Every structure is written in C-alpha cells, then in structure tokens.
A and B are shown apart, each in its own frame.
Chain A
Amino acid sequence: MEQIIQQFFNVEIMIKALPLVIKGLGITLLICAVVIPMGAIGGLFAAIGSLSPNRAVRWLSIGFVDLFRAIPPLVLLIFIYAGLPFAGLSLSPFVAVTIGFFLNNSAYFAEIFRAGLLSVPRGQTEAARSTGLSQAQTLTYVTLPQATRNVLPDLLSNVVEVVKLTSLASVVSLGEMLHAAGLVRSLTYNASPLILAAGIYLLLLWPLVRVIARFERRIAS
C-alpha cells in the first residue's frame, strides 16, 4: 500500500510536475481549439458531399470518410511527421498534428452530420423548397438546425474523443499534457505525473461524459 502511494500518488513529485503539466494542458487545449472547429467544418462539407445527387461528389466524399476511418490516427500522424520529410516536406509537430487530426476528425464528424441530415424527414425539405427557399437556404435554416439537434450527443461525444486524441501528439514530441507528464515520469522513474495528467483529463472530460449520458437517456425515452 505504502509502495503504491509512493509510486503513483507521490504528492511531492506531482507538485514538481505541475507547472510543466499545466503548460502542457495549455497546448492540449490549443490543439482542441484549432482541430475541433476545423474538423466540424470539414466533416460538415464531407457529409453534405456524401448526400450529393452528383455521383462523383458522393463517392469522393464517402471514400474520404471511409479511408480516414480505416487508418488509425497515430499511423496518419507518424506518416505526416516522419514520412513526409523524406520527400523534403518537413512540418513542425504542431502543423503535423493539426493536419493529421483534421483528416481523422473530419471523417468522424462527417459520419455524425450525415446521420443527422438523414434523420430529418424529407417533408421538411419539400416544405422549405415549396416556399421558395433555395437549396442552400433550406440546408442552413431548416435541415441543418434539426440535424444538429438530433445528433447533439454524438457531436459532444466526438468532442470528448478529440480531447482524448490530443494525447497522441506526445508521440511526435509536441509538448502537450501527456508529453509533459511522460517527461517528468522518465526523469523521476515515478508514475505520479501520469496520474496527475489522468486526473486533469478526468476533471476536463468526466462532466462532459455525464452530460452526454443524460442527453442520450432523454432521447431514448
């Protein structure tokens, strides 16, 4: 017991790690602030494309989504960060992370928006078009608001996934929270910094997980 506390819950080491971990948290949140809106917008376009009457657009969009749902984000990230330099294209860790997560994340957002758009009854579009709204107006004012509402829990749970995903950036030495905690761990040979980081992730994400669970229950009933 003593040993477990010493190795996992060592307050002294946690305090030492805190400044670096907090700095890492800042980078984690920065990645989120960039990747979530980008992914959502990219996903929305891919979703609209996947429902397009134009066959080429439709298949291109579905192909994009399926491809990036099949490739693990870490593979994508390492390919961009460690593979592209061989072709003379060196990217900073932050840019590599942004591109990799954008591609991965758009695919997931696309699937959610697609399900949302499909959940809106066809009559809604017909009613909107019959009053003279253009296709874009119908999407903006009628279909999309309803679609977003219908899949709100899924959108939120994807946001949780993105925050968790940022931990992968540690692999390419971008100093986000897990990287910072891992660094202190390797210097002290003590797992407490990782527990500290885990605690902060929980603090950040547990409320969201609860909110999503509540949402889902309301929709189910």
Chain B
Amino acid sequence: MEQFLDTFLNPVVLAKYTPAILQGTMVTVILSVLIVLCGIGLGAGLACIRAYRVRLISFVIVIFADVLRALPPLVVILLMFFGLPNVGILLSASVVLFIVLTLVLAAFAEEIVWAGITATPKGQWEAARSTGLTFTQTLFHVVLPQAMRMVIPPLTNRAIAITKMTALGMVIGVPDILGQATTAQSFSANASPLTLAAIAYVVLFLPFVIASRWLESRFASPGA
C-alpha cells in the first residue's frame, strides 16, 4: 500500500508538479471552450446553409462532414502539424489542435443540427410561412430554436467526446494537462503526475458527463 501511494500519489512529486498541471489545466480549459464555441457555431451555421438546399453547396458540406467524421483526428493533427511547414505554413501546436478539433466538432454538429432541422414538423414551416415570415425568418425564429432544443443531448455528448481529445495535443507538444503530466512524469520518474492528470480530467469532465445524463433523461420524449 505504501509503495502504491509512493508510486501513484507521491506527496513530494505532487507538490512539485501540481502548478505545472494546473497550468496545463488552464490550457485544456481555454482550448475546450474555444473548440466548443467555434465548432458548434460553425456546424450549426453549415446546417443552416444546407437548409436552403442549394445542391452544389449542400454536396460540399456533406463531403466536409463525412471526411472529418471518418478520419481519426490524430491523423489530421499530424498531417497539419508535420505537413504544412513543408509548404511554408507554420502553425503552433495549439493552433493546429484548435483548428482540427474545431473542424471535427463542426462536422458532427452539422450532422446533428441538420437532423434536428429535418425532424422539425412540416406544419411549423407552413404555419410560419402562412403568416408571411420569409424562409430565413422561419429558419431562425421558428425551426432552429426547436431543432437546437431537440439536439442538445447528442450535441453535449459529442462536445464532451471531442473536447476530451485535446489530450491528443500531447503528441505534438501542446502544454495541456496530459502534455504537462508526461513531461513531469519523465523528469520525476514517478507515475504521480499521470494520476494527477487523470484526476484533473475527471474533475473537469465528470460534471459534464453527469449533466449530459441528466439532459438525456429530461429531454427523452415521454412517449418513448
């Protein structure tokens, strides 16, 4: 037991590296917030554009969403981080991580919001159009508010899954929680920083996981 604590919760190591992990936590939090805001915003925007059913534009959006949902994010991250400098584009590791995860979340959010838009009853469109609202007004004032409400649970789940992927930044040297912890672990030759990292992620994400469970039960249709 003592050896276990010494290895995984060593007080000396913990004291020394907690500040670094806290710094990493800030990086993770900031990246996560930015990714969620930009990713869901972009995805919802694309779903709205798709609602106008301009064939070519819709086709491009579907291809974008399909490709980013089919590719492992780590592949795209490595591709951008190692490939772009060769053609003269230099981006920092954090920016690459932000761009890739934002695009991935946007791809999923587009599909989810689009499903919500198509699931909104036809009568809602008809009622709004019959009072003289334009297509755009109907989309933004009548359909989108209902669609977003419908898709809050799947969107929350997806946002959690993708913000957790900020941990992938460690591979290209982003100083997030995991990045700080692996550095600390190799300096200290002790597993405690990794334990601390795991705890930090649990503290950060568990409330959202629990909230998503609550949302799901609240939004579940009573008839089902």
Q: Is the CB of A66 within 8 A of B209?
A: yes
A201 within 8 A of B: yes
CB within 8 Å for A178 and B198 given contacts A69-B209, A72-B167, A171-B171: no
- Among A30-38, A78-86, A91-99, A129-137, the stretch that binds chain B is A78-86
CB within 8 Å for A194 and B75 given contacts A71-B198, A83-B195, A202-B67: yes
Secondary structure dominating the interface of A: helix
A190 within 8 A of B: yes
Q: Is the CB of A198 within 8 A of B76?
A: yes
A18 within 8 A of B: no
Secondary structure dominating the interface of B: helix
Task: Compute how far the CA of A79 lies from the CA of B199 in the bound complex, rounded to whole angstroms.
Answer: 12
Q: Is the CB of A82 within 8 A of B194?
A: yes
Q: Which residues of B contact A75 (CB under 8 A)?
A: 167, 177-178, 194, 197-198, 201
Q: Is the CB of A220 within 8 A of B115?
A: yes
- B→A interface (CB under 8 Å): 3-4, 7-8, 66-67, 69-76, 78-79, 82-83, 86-88, 111, 115, 118-119, 157, 160-161, 164-168, 170-171, 177-178, 182, 185, 189-191, 194-195, 197-198, 201-202, 204-206, 208-210, 213, 216, 220, 224
Q: Is the CB of A209 within 8 A of B75?
A: no
Chain A residues numbered 153-207 whose CB sits less than 8 Å from any CB in chain B:
160-161, 163-168, 170-171, 178, 182, 185, 189-191, 194-195, 197-198, 201-202, 205-206
